[in-house]
Structure 1
Amino acid sequence: MTLGSVLAEAWGLYTRFFTRFFLLAAVVFLITNLASSVLAESVGANSSLSAFLVGVAAFAVIIVGSFWLQGAFVLAVQDVRDGSFDATTDQIFQKVKPFLGQLVLAGFLGALGIAAGMILLVVPGLVLLTWWALLSPVLVLEHTGVGGAFARSRELVRGHGWTVFGVMLATGLLSLVADSVLTGILGFLPGLLGRWIGGALSGAIVAPFGAIAVTIMYFKLVERRAADA
């Protein structure tokens, strides 16, 4: 597995099935970005209890939606690797639903560990980011449970850490640049509408590529382990 092969395959799937991946992401981003916009408005408006409760509800929607989308991307990539998109958007989201709690919990634990590592010495955080890059595919496709997902992701990444880190870095930088450009282009939309629609469109265009790359790494590493066994 090489950095170039992962990015090339990810780009091929992203461009070939762009409409399907875009629609899959748009369903979630239209909801989470509306929640994000409401959260921003409630925080800026006043400090009343009602504003606080609205903010908490909006934050919960954002968290659940984000991890649900991660799982959906995994199943979508699994579906299209044979050259066709067979499952509907609704079917994909329904298949992810049983793993939603595990995805949220693993995501929080992973984020806490990575953040702690970044605060301490930076390098440990980057190492953990690399080791745990495959948490979502492992949870959804191997049904390992939260604890098993961390160990399994580390096992798959072992021996390929620099490649995995390179893919994460490259897709992160590309996504950051693309999101900045799209946000600038869509900046003519005013206020709440701009944050909602502009952010949703930008996210739906940018997010799939990185998720596709991560899932492709998972499949390549699983196949490599099987070949070496």
Structure 2
Amino acid sequence: MTTTIDPTAVLGRALGIYKEHAGALIPAALVVFLINAIVAFVFDSGVLVLVSSLVSMVVHTFYQGLVVRLVDDVRDGTLDASVGDLFRSVAPVAVPLLVASIVVGILVGIGLILLIVPGLFLLTIWSVTAPVVVLEGKGPIEAMERSRELVRGNGWGVLGLVVLVFVLLFGVAFVAGLIGAVGGDALRVLLTFLVTVAVAPLAALAISVLYFDLRDGR
């Protein structure tokens, strides 16, 4: 028997954690995504964009792992770890976490390009791969299989959450992009940085809360 996933409820709890622990989430995001913003500003043309994209994937993956640790820590009602502790806790799983993110990203991307439905299916079944790597210590392929196992029976609810988070992120990024388009590269990068710092915690929290709901519901 599995607990039914309510996308709005998951997002609501993620927002609650965000509000309560913004003092840890925002400083961590500022540090991590400042690196991304600097690289994006320096490597902004030609083949160098690939470097920027790779760095972006690395920092987003690392931050997701950090947020998973935070959510695990606050489940008892208090945050015991410092921001430094959270950073250090992700280091041992950074490589498998990155490999898993790259594999999932490539396969989901291919699915979305060829046919949208297969891409959404893969995005759904592998949605909690990162938390599995961080908290269960599994390798990339094992984590993807474990994610599929956890999602089984809740596909529509998980897909609903993924779409909800995507619409939220896309909406905020789109507005920032419109403003940045009239202000030059410097303003565009600055706005992208600020938007990422603001919304990345919520997206990472939603996936983390989803993982615990799926795991504890079985």
Q: Same fold (TM over 0.5)?
A: yes
Unaligned runs of 5+ in 1: 44-51
Return the match for 2:29 from 22, 25, 32. 25
After TM superposition, list the pairs within 5 Å mapping 1:152-167 onto structure 2: 152-167=146-161
After superposition, where does 1:87-106 map in structure 2 within 5 Å? 87-106=81-100
The letter for the 2-side match of 1:144 is K
Q: Report the counterpart of residue 39 of structure 1 in structure 2.
A: 43
In 2: Cα distance, 1:116 partner to 1:55 partner = 20
**Mapping for residues 59-138 of structure 1, pairs under 5 Å:** 59-138=53-132
RMSD between superposed Cα atoms in Å: 2.1
Q: Match for residue 47 of structure 1?
A: none
2:51 and 2:164 map into 1 onto residues whose CA distance is 33
Measured against aligned partners, the alpha-carbon deviations of 1:179-227 in whole angstroms (never above 9, x if no partner) come to 3334556x499545324432221101011111111110110111111xx
Partner Cα distance (2:183, 2:78) in 1 = 39
TM-score, normalization by structure 2: 0.89
Q: Verify the 8 A CA contact 2:10 2:209 in the aligned structure 1.
A: yes
Selected match of 2:165 from 161, 171, 174 = 171
Maintained 8 Å contact 2:181/2:188: no
Distance 1:119 1:61 in 2: 22
Q: Please state whether the residue corresponding to 1:84 is helix, strand or coil.
A: coil
**CA–CA separation in structure 2 for the residues paired with 1:224 and 1:193:** 46
Q: Secondary structure of the residue that 1:81 maps to in structure 2? A: helix
The TM-score with structure 1 as length reference comes to 0.85
CA distance in 1 between partners of 2:163 and 2:209 (Å): 15
Instruction: Please tell me whether the aligned partners of residues 30 and 196 of structure 1 are also in contact (alpha carbons under 8 angstroms).
Output: no
User: 2:206 aligned with 1:213, yes or no?
Assistant: yes
Counterpart code for 2:57: I
Distance in 1, matches of 2:98 and 2:195, equals 23
Please give the alpha-carbon distance, in whole angstroms, between the structure 1 residues aligned to 2:194 and 2:160: 27
Letter in 1 for 2:192: G
Show CA shifts across 1:39-90 (max 9, x none).
11x53xxxxxxxx6x6665454333222111111111221223222221112
Contact preservation (8 Å) 1:79, 1:86: yes
Q: Larger C-alpha radius of gyration, 1 or 2?
A: 1
Tell me, yes or no, if the aligned pair for 1:11 and 1:209 is still in contact at 8 Å. Answer: yes
Identify the range of structure 1 (190-199 vs 117-126) with the bigger mean alpha-carbon deviation. 190-199
Number of residues paired by the alignment?
214
Question: Helix, strand or coil for the counterpart of 1:86?
Answer: coil
* Letter paired with 2:16: G
Alpha-carbon separation, structure 2, partners of 1:109 and 1:126: 15
Matching of residue 141 in structure 1 with residue 135 in structure 2: yes
Q: After the TM superposition, which of the residue ranges 137-146 and 170-179 deviates more from structure 2?
A: 170-179
| Runs of 4 or more consecutive aligned structure 1 residues displaced over 6 Å after TM superposition | none
Q: What amino acid is the match of 2:59?
A: G
8 A Cα contact 1:37 1:195, kept in partner: no
More displaced, 194-203 or 99-108? 194-203
- Alpha-carbon contact 2:39-2:52 (below 8 Å) kept: yes
* Distance change (3 Å), C-alpha of 1:94 and 1:189: farther
Q: Which runs of 5+ in 2 are unaligned?
A: none
